[in-house]
Each structure stands twice: as structure tokens, then as C-alpha cells.
Structure 1
Amino acid sequence: MPGIGRTKATKLIARKRPGCIRSSDSVVSAVLGTERSHLNLVREVLRADDGALHRRLLLIREEAGLPEEVSARRVFDVIAWMDGKNRGFGEHDLGR
């Protein structure tokens, strides 16, 4: 649909069907340098070094006073999105 890119579409689907699909964000993709999907990359990084990044993200969640329902993956997404926005990334960076 005109005006609905990958980011908006996956966020709408994820909102309607939680747990069925992860939203895909163009800013996070730009930060990670992944044009299509960064989900497998993030999954691998969270498991690397015996879960060191995963544990660090849980610590950040705790220090921020967020509830346990907020996953380490969500903490990562927010940090990457904030970094990308600060660096000027967005939909236009991926040719959309």
C-alpha cells in the first residue's frame, strides 16, 4: 500500500498478532547494516559469549526500572533505535 513501508507494516502485524511476528524497524536495520532482516543477527549476538550481551541488556532493563515483561531483545531494539535516530537514520536510508 502506498505510504506503508516494511516498518509500519510489520509493526501493525505485530500489534494485531503479538508473538507471531517481530516488527522490523528500518532505523535498527540501518544501525546494524542489515537491509532485510536483523532478527537472526540479533539472536546470534544475544547468544554469543555465553549470553554476555543478553545479561548486560537485562541489567540495563533493571537499572532503568523496567518490568520483567520487557525483554532483553526489546531493550536492544530501543537502544539501537535511539542510536540510529541520533545518527540520522530512518526510512529514507533504505531507499523507501
Structure 2
Amino acid sequence: METALWALPGIGRTKATKLIARKRPRLYPIWDSVVMGVVGTARAHLNPVREALRADAAALHGRLLKIRAAAGLPEEISALRVFDVIAWMDGKNRGLGDGSDLER
């Protein structure tokens, strides 16, 4: 699905993943150059994130839900969206990303 969107004019990886994530907020992470730097992989993004959320009896998933609650966010905001925001903020604070956000 993501690569099919890339075929559209003006749609790169970031816009494609944002569009998919909007429709599947509990299933699909947003991927840009900042998050890529935090996660540490340039190509695969679905499996590393999925594996991290499931590892250690879903410890990260639980921690993200606690962060969501502490921030006063509604339950409609998925743990994956909390991850996206935290990863992006951390990456920006560390100066990660090349500014292109993986767009064409």
C-alpha cells in the first residue's frame, strides 16, 4: 500500500505513511527522517516498531499507555501515535533528520 502511494506525484515516504496512519492509527507508524534516526533503520520500519511494542511482555506498549494517561490524552490516541510523537520529539531534540523528510 505504501509503495503504491509513492507512485503518485508529490507523495514520498513521509506523506504515504501519514496517509496510511490516518486510516490505521493503531497499526501503521509514521515514518520520516527524524523517526528513522531514532529507530535506527533506513528501510524497514513496520517490523522493528512492531517487535519493540511486543517485546518483554509488551512493556513498551504499556509504558506508552501510561504516558498517554499522564498527558491526559483520550483513549482514542493509540500507543503507536504516542510512540510517533515521542520518537519525533526526541529525534528533533537530538538534531536527527535531514530536512527532506524522505519526500521526493
| Fold shared per TM-score above 0.5 | yes
- 2:71 maps to 64
Structure 1 residues 30-39 or 75-84, which shifts more?
30-39
5+ unaligned residues in a row in structure 2: which ranges?
1-7
Q: How does 1:1-96 map to 2 (within 5 A)?
A: 4-12=11-19, 14-15=21-22, 18-19=23-24, 22=28, 23-92=30-99
How many angstroms apart in 1 are the aligned matches of 2:75 and 2:102?
36
Higher relative contact order (CA 8 A, sep 6+): 2
- 2:3 maps to none
**Aligned residue-pair number:** 94
5+ unaligned residues in a row in structure 1: which ranges?
none
Structure 2 vs 1, CA of residues 3 and 89 (structure 1 numbering), >3 Å: closer, same or farther? Answer: farther
The C-alpha deviation readout for 1:6-57, integer Å capped at 9, x for no partner, is 2133324544xx1298332221111111102322111111111111111111
Secondary structure at 2:36's aligned position in 1?
A: helix
TM-score by length of 2: 0.73
Structure 2 vs 1, CA of residues 48 and 38 (structure 1 numbering), >3 Å: closer, same or farther? Answer: same
Name the structure with the higher helix share. 1
RMSD over equivalenced CA pairs, Å: 2.6
